[in-house]
A and B are shown apart, each in its own frame.
Chain A
Amino acid sequence: MEKYKLFDAEYKFVSIIWDNEPINSTELVKLCADKLGWKKSTTYTVLKKLCERGILQNKDATVTSLVKREDVQRYESRAVVEKTFDGSLLKFLTAFLSGRKLSEQEAKELKRIIEEAAK
């Protein structure tokens, strides 16, 4: 599971790839310079590190992702529930929803998701 642990900067970087893959690495350097303010060397350092961790792939200067955005999001949200709410989904939801109103649409959607999960 630790594989999906991404730092803030890494997450932003992988997000760029999710949005644009497959992407040429030269192109990626340009995008990172523009969106993240990174130097060429920084982009390559982070790219190499994430390739080693099996999150990205760099073949013939074409970069693609090996993990899905949903996987990382699932890991991140579970980590938050684990760390901050002692693993209690109820506590998390209570905290998340307190002082916040759901729209009709959101409530319906949530209901559906919960029923799905309870099956």
Chain B
Amino acid sequence: MNLLIFITVVNMSITASYVAIGVILVRLLLKKAPKIFSYVLWTPVLFRLICPFSFDSTFSLFNLINLYVKQGTGVSELFMQTPVIHSGIGSIDGTANISLTSAIPAVSPNPVQIWTAVISPSPNPKQIWLTAFSLIWIFGVITLLIYSIVSYVKIKGKLQTATRVDGNVFESDAIGTAFIFGFIRPKIYVPANVEDASLLYILEHERTHIRRKDYLIKLIAFLLLILHWFNPLIWLCFVLMSRDMEMSCDENVLRKLGDSAKVGYSSSLLSQAVKRKGLLTVNPLAFGESDVKTRIKNILNYKKPAFWVIVIAVIAVCAATIAFVTNPSKSVAYTSDIYIKSP
């Protein structure tokens, strides 16, 4: 059971890695577009990290990868190894394999080889390795979960004595930066004694996060990051996605407050960043801010986008999402049949 979950996770991770690379490339094209597009673009990665199944489409990104892999690259090895090793364990049934294959965009350079591996009898040294890896994986997940929960509880304790300023806004001198805390009834916490001028921007920013449910998205992303902790690409995705989230939130605030707010807004960001040094390291679950320099640049350069930019961005995001979310069409992916036949 443990192994089955582990293999499913590894396969989702590999699939998601392809999608992530795609997203990072498309994201480069969208550099000049409003950041909300880059932010939305991460949805397929999220989907691939969480869901081992998808539906087929001829527009799938993996059709391209298949064509490429057929010419004999090593990438496919990773895809193949897991199910092969997996089949060495007695208790595996057909459904497991089906689910596996639909998780993996099938890319077999040599189906025959796999076929033999599937039917070959037990004593399989690879199986031992696999068990070892799955234990390391579980250990990592548990460690990260415990660490996160402990720091969450610690911050919660610190925030207990925060005093209400107004509505869901609380202030505390135990924190160096503003953030949102709590998932069911999220509250905004700001450092005590922030100048009123900054407070306006800080609150507008955090309220935008709450309105857009960003704190929940970040929670989901963080849990998925824990599940896929062994994949460095996913860590990169988390960082980039957080940045896109912040910058699109900044843009939202600017749209609301107008261009005249640019200078005030960025200087309030800067003063927060300076104060933060040495205080409370930011826990990903406490909704902290990141990359002040990039964000300030983005704020100062922000212009209302031209109509055609939005049109192109919408088309690009939609096309990319379809390509990234769907599996290759059956005609291109031929390996799935083989797995279903396995004993």
Residues on A facing B (Cβ under 8 Å) = 7-10, 12, 35-39, 42, 45-46
Contact = CB atoms under 8 A, between A and B. Distances in A.
A13 to B, nearest CB: 8
A42 B163 CA distance: 11
Given A8-B193, A38-B164, 20 more contacts: A7-B173, A7-B174, A8-B171, A8-B173, A8-B192, A9-B162, A9-B163, A10-B161, A35-B163, A35-B164, A36-B163, A36-B164, A37-B162, A37-B163, A37-B164, A37-B170, A39-B160, A42-B160, A42-B161, A45-B160
B163 A12 contact: yes
B163 A38 contact: yes
Nearest to A37: B164
A39 B192 CA distance: 19
Interface residues of B, number: 12
Nearest to B193: A8
B87 interface: no
Secondary structure at the B interface, as helix, strand, loop or mixed, is loop
Interface in B159-196: 160-164, 170-174, 192-193
A71 B174 CA distance: 23
A38 B164 CA distance: 8
Interface in B54-88: none
Contacts of B172: 8-9
A62 B95 CA distance: 69
Contacts of A35: 163-164
Interface string B142-171: 000000000000000000111110000011
A97 B124 CA distance: 81
B163 A8 contact: yes
List of 8 A-B pairs having minimum Cβ-Cβ separation, nearest first: A37-B164, A8-B173, A9-B161, A8-B192, A36-B163, A42-B160, A9-B163, A12-B163
Contacts of B161: 7, 9-10, 38, 42, 45-46
Nearest to A33: B164
A12 B173 CA distance: 12
Contacts of B163: 8-9, 12, 35-38
Contacts of A38: 161, 163-164
B164 A9 contact: no
A38 B173 CA distance: 16
A45 B160 CA distance: 10
B160, B163, B164, B192 — most chain A CB neighbours (10 Å): B163
20 contacts: A7-B161, A7-B174, A8-B173, A9-B162, A9-B172, A10-B161, A12-B163, A35-B163, A35-B164, A36-B163, A36-B164, A37-B163, A37-B164, A37-B170, A38-B161, A39-B160, A42-B160, A45-B160, A45-B161, A46-B161
A10 B161 CA distance: 8
A80 to B, nearest CB: 12
Contacts of A42: 160-161
A7 to B, nearest CB: 6
A36 B165 CA distance: 8
A9, A10, A45, A46 — most chain B CB neighbours (10 Å): A9
Nearest to B167: A37
Contacts of A10: 161
A63 B49 CA distance: 56
Nearest to B173: A8
